Amino acid sequence: MELLVLIVVVIAVLAVLALLARTTALLVGLAVNAIVGLILLFVANLFVSPPIPINLITILICAIGGVVGWLLILIVHLLRIAF
């Protein structure tokens, strides 16, 4: 009986560790995307005449989409649809 409990506890601990590793990787990926997106927004604001506002919405779009999100913001801004 003790062996069965030990096996279940070990499996549960491994499952929790795997879940934490995936969550940490996801958060690190979002942070890297957000930093790269902010850098690209700053660089784009050097060349774009009316600057793109850097607010919570643009940061979230860059964090989720990365470079593709930044490109989407830039295209939408240049077409004067939003931002």
Task: Please indicate, yes or no, if residue 83 is contained in any of the structural domains.
Answer: no
Q: Can you give the pTM of this predicted structure? A: 0.71
Number of domains, the chain: 1
Going residue by residue through the chain (83 aa), what tens digit of pLDDT does each one get? Answer: 788 888 888 888 888 888 888 888 888 888 898 899 889 999 999 999 899 998 989 888 988 888 999 999 999 999 999 87
34-53 b/e with 16+ CB inside 10 Å = b?
bebbbebbeebeeeeeeebe
Q: What is the pLDDT of residue 39?
A: 92
The residue range of the domain holding 47 is 2-78
Within-domain flag for 24: yes
